[in-house]
Homo-oligomer: A and B are copies of this chain.
Amino acid sequence: MLQKKEETISLGRYLFERIRQLKVQSIFGVPGDFNLTLLDKIEEVNDLTWRGNANELNAAYAVDGYSRVKSTDSSANGFGCLVTTFGVGELSALNGIAGSYAEHVGLLHVVGIPATSAQQKQLLLHHTLGNGDFTVFRRMSSAITQTTGMVADAATGPEEIDRVIREAYINQRPSYLAFPTNMVDLEVPKLSLDTPIDLSIPENDPETESEVLERVTELISNSKNPIILVDACCARHGATGEARKLIDLTKFKFAVTPMAKGAKYIDEDHERFAGVYVGTLSYPSVKEQVESSDLILSLGAMLSDFNTGSFSYSYQTKNVVEIHSDYTKIRSANYPNVRMKAVLQKLLESDKLKEAASKYKPVEVEKDPFPEEKKDELSKITQQWLWSKVSGWLKENDIVITETGTSSFGIIQTQFPKNTLGISQILWGSIGYSVGATCGAAMAAQEIDPNRRVILFVGDGSLQLTVQEISSMAKNKTKPYIFVLNNNGYTIEKLIHGETADYNSIQPWDHLKILETFKADDYESIRVSTVKELLDLFSDQNFAKNDKIRVIELMLDTMDSPQNLIEQAKITAQTNSN
């Protein structure tokens, strides 16, 4: 049956309507001639805005930060979307996309590609390798995405769009969608939009699931001193609500890994919170409590080197239950396809668990005091002192972003208030990520609650990779705090190797001029060198209010570093030379 015009919409608009249904309100990316007509469709969608980035890598980082923040806005998973152009644009984004893949962040990478007619003729278009191969870039992306797809015609386009979105969303990984220029304006039935994309995670096989529940509840019943260890994939796959309920119901102690620090619902002011567990790099009390437990319930573990103190876990018990996003492992037994969220929900409903919980006698949580150094008011700031002071300045609902470097290690020493969201790229660890991520996070925060503060800690070295994204933050009227740790180069590298090597030095910048150069509307640029200057700033009520974009340069000694980073760097240098 022929559709009347009003009953159809363009395929381009169909895509963005679907994206909007996943609570996405911002689209990231950079325009290019193969995506321009597609970008026109964004403004046809209610409450959807194009946020231009300064380049594609930054756009990929931004959508990652955006997706992470949006996951805190509802019980849904996070999601985001960036649009780039064929070849030149999409390849620039790959490092960012790979990071989202490694760290389980859901997003869609849409690439505007040449018209199918030009592809069939193998035209030697600009942005091609000159060899008539129009699928090479999609193949490259397939290595770092959950799935790739292409809009090929009006008949199958909607289904293909739904498929790649679903795959990205339920697996919390990036997907890739190629959108030829001549597909954008093809008309498709509008009615399809009324049926939401099926975003349900497949149910666990009932028989296997009951076996898992039986074994887990048995281990729990027999345990005197269990601990719950919340890790990255628990946060990424939207299961921290269930984790929190498990904590509250059982009154078991819990710890987090660096990658789960500042996860939704996993509050550090909770009476059962034992601290951040990083193997041998943990504080003594955390290490002792985790490793002496007689049962470890590990939720969404991502056992990467920087997340585990270089694989230095040493549990005394063999009673380890690992619940992952797509399988469960109990001691040595694997249960494929027994997925975290569903199994946790069933566990919470289980009478055996409730019975075990009622019998459990809570073991007291021990905490090392967060290290606090007394410092003379006129002395210089040090990292050791800084990170404990940050604790006092943070507020509920803050979003705290740290860079792979001194800040992602230092922040472990900072105590987060309730509902603080922590963002850091511990596994992928691409320097420069945090600046792009802050751009996206700030836009998500703007959508959720403009009073929610977005706070970045980035080193002067990492800042140089992606500095222009501060311009995008200004363009989009966001009001983040950008703390630049000026320690005169790549300190994390210097700790690993080449302390005085020329390659670890950078051009010094005048950080206080950045916002002026980028013509931010209303801004503040502050340099802080001494203890007193920072204390004054942190007690200033005007400064506490996120009413403008700010750069705060913190002057630090070159080799001044958090102790855990110094130790990690030694191990890394050793691994590299073996």
Contacts and interface: CB of A to CB of B under 8 A. Distances in A.
Nearest to A475: B507
Contact of A102 (B101, B118, B128, B506): B128
A40 B402 CA distance: 29
A36 interface: yes
Copies per complex?
Answer: 2
- Most chain B CB neighbours (cut-off 10 Å) among A181, A431, A464, A466: A464
B468 A127 contact: no
Nearest to A233: B130
Interface stretch (A237-245, A304-312, A554-562): A304-312
A432 interface: yes
Interface string A503-519: 11111111001101111
Contacts of A127: 428-430
A69 B179 CA distance: 37
A517 B514 contact: yes
Contacts of A303: 124
B519 A130 contact: no
Given A304-B130, A464-B468, A87 B428 contact: yes
A577 B79 CA distance: 30
A302 interface: yes
Interface in A39-58: 39-40, 42-43, 50, 52, 54-57
A431 to B, nearest CB: 7
A300 interface: no
A569 B327 CA distance: 53
Contact of A497 (B37, B42, B404): B37
A40 B102 contact: no
A342 interface: no
A398 to B, nearest CB: 26
A414 interface: no
A114 interface: yes
Interface in A444-503: 464-468, 471-472, 474-475, 490, 492-493, 496-498, 501-503
A31 B498 contact: yes
Interface string A47-81: 00010101111000000000000000000000000
A92 interface: yes
Contact of A91 (B95, B181, B304, B305): B95
Interface string A96-138: 0011011100000000001101100001111111100000100
Given A36-B503, A92-B430, A130-B302, 11 more contacts: A40-B501, A91-B94, A91-B95, A101-B129, A115-B578, A125-B305, A126-B404, A127-B428, A128-B304, A185-B577, A468-B468
Interface of A: 30-34, 36-37, 39-40, 42-43, 50, 52, 54-57, 87-88, 91-92, 94-95, 98-99, 101-103, 114-115, 117-118, 123-130, 136, 139-140, 143-144, 181-182, 185, 302-306, 311, 404, 426-432, 464-468, 471-472, 474-475, 490, 492-493, 496-498, 501-510, 513-514, 516-519, 572-573, 575-578
